Amino acid sequence: MYKNPFSLLKTSLYALSTHPAILFPFGLLAFIQLLILEILYFAPRYPLAIFFGPIIRRLAGESYMHYPQNFVLLQKWFAESWIQIPVYILFYSVGIGMAVLIISDINSQRKVRLPEIFKRTFAVYAHLMVAAGVTVGILYGFSVLYGLVMQRALQIRSISGIYFYIKMAVIYGAPLFQLLFSGIVTAALAFVIPLIMLEKRNVFSALWLNFRRYGRDLFTIFLVVFLSGLIYVPILLLKYFQQWYQAVRIPELLGVVAVLGVIVLFFVDAIQVTAITTYYLLDQETRE
């Protein structure tokens, strides 16, 4: 029964509604993201402009110090890999590790003690960072590959026929392909962090066991990740068609979409990690 993706999602939602402590790590991650957004929003303004002003002028231009281009800069820099990759490796890995421990304690009917959770998580921080780095590296490889495909698609001059439809699918289907790639990678590496946190495996042993022990379950986990990830599709579409906000002269929507993205990811990540950890714990019980 636990291998039914819909049952897993239902169980995940029930666990989150009855045990709000699980949301704590994801709340911390959302706070960090919103703090970065706030810093970027005030970067062109005094007093932060004293430090960020020269950087913005050099990298983007004087116009991005003023309305409405400051909102374009906000959205663009917030999505940049040089901001999001360090956040993912340094903080996101810790948040998932903490969530796994909290869910495990709740499943074992132990009292959740956050100081102890922090201590146990930071004891394996190096392994968590490496695991997150592997995920980022694979996703970056997919991104580079898709960029090459996009460049090739833009060179297609056909205005009808199969090649034209391929071009349109590549260009306008980018958000969905992004979700698909992310879902595949997340599912493929789903149990690495639970293995590190709950079985005290080093990152390399966890990677090996992840594929050896759970490779057969990849499709089930992918469905869990993909179905829950569909909640984020509207945000992806809003980000992809950001030029419209400038056309209708409402650049503030760029900031609104960025904030909405953080909030939606808060719930998506919580659902996915809870479902994956629940799957892991139930599988361990059947093994015993």
Q: How far apart, in whole angstroms, are the C-alpha atoms of residue 61 and residue 92?
A: 32
Q: How far apart are CA 98 and CA 87, in angstroms?
A: 16
Residue type, 270: A
Please tell me the predicted confidence (pLDDT) of residue 243: 59
The CA distance from 3 to 186, in Å, is: 17
pLDDT value at residue 286: 80
Per-residue pLDDT tens listing for the chain (288 residues): 567 899 999 999 999 999 999 999 999 999 999 999 999 999 999 999 999 999 999 999 999 998 888 888 888 899 888 899 999 999 999 999 999 999 999 999 999 999 999 999 999 999 999 999 999 999 999 989 998 998 988 888 888 888 888 888 888 888 788 888 999 999 999 999 999 999 999 999 999 999 999 988 999 999 999 999 999 988 887 776 665 555 456 778 888 889 999 999 999 999 999 999 999 999 988 866
Rounded Cα distance, 152 and 145, in Å: 11
Note the pLDDT of residue 160: 81
Question: What are the sequence ranges of the domains in the chain?
Answer: 5-287
pLDDT at 96: 97
- Predicted pLDDT at 246: 56
Distance of CA 20 to the CA centre of its chain: 20
Say what the pLDDT of residue 166 is.
87
Rounded to two decimals, the pTM is 0.91
Crossing angle of the two packed helices 174-188 and 125-154, in degrees rounded to 10:
150
Unique residue bearing structure tokens 């049952």: 7
Q: Contact, 242 vs 79, CB < 8 A?
A: no
Instruction: Report the alpha-carbon distance of residue 150 to residue 170 in Å, rounded.
Output: 6
